[in-house]
Amino acid sequence: MLIAGGFTDINFALSFWTAITFGLLIIVLGKFAWGPILAMIATREKTISDAIESAKLQRAEAEKASAEMRETLAKTRAETAEMVRRNHAEVAAAKAELMAAARKDSDDLLAAARRTIEEERRQTVAQLRSQVVDIAMEAAARLVSMNMDAGKQKQLVEEYLAQLPKDARV
């Protein structure tokens, strides 16, 4: 028979068996469940801690690699700037060298042209002198009697031309 009990009535037999069942449950859980659960928690904790350490190491490596890349980039920029500066210097030197060579060639051509002109002028003056001597001899031969021979006449004209001032001879 079931006796109706109030809300505040305590049933000691039910409480005893509930406590025994709870104790057995704790023992069974402690023996079979808590060990694996705690081991799994420890494993998970170790995995998380290893992952954190690995992440820290990877971050440090990434920062190191980033620093190396920045340093390499800075070196590359410096080398590039140096190469550009050297190229500009080489271009300027080549330009100066070509200009100097062109000036030298121009001066050489000008000097050669002046020498050629001077040589041609001398030849022309010599030819002109020879023609003047010949013309003067012919004229003198017509004016002078046949008593003087051609060698004496030529000598006389050359002596006269030598006595003329240099400016008048050119």
114-139 pLDDT, tens per residue? Answer: 999 999 999 988 888 887 777 777 66
Where is average pLDDT lowest: 130-134, 146-150, 154-158? Answer: 146-150
Backbone Cα Rg of the chain: 63
Whole-angstrom distance, CA of residue 106 vs CA of residue 10: 130
Q: What is the mean pLDDT of the chain?
A: 85
pLDDT digits (tens, 9 = 90+) for 92-102: 999 999 999 99
Residue 105 token pair = 């060639």
Run of H or E including 11? none
**Contact 157/133 with Cβ under 8 angstroms?**
yes
Whole-angstrom distance, CA of residue 36 vs CA of residue 30: 9
When pLDDT is cut at 50, 70 and 90, the band that residue 1 belongs to is very low
Whole-angstrom distance, CA of residue 169 vs CA of residue 163: 10
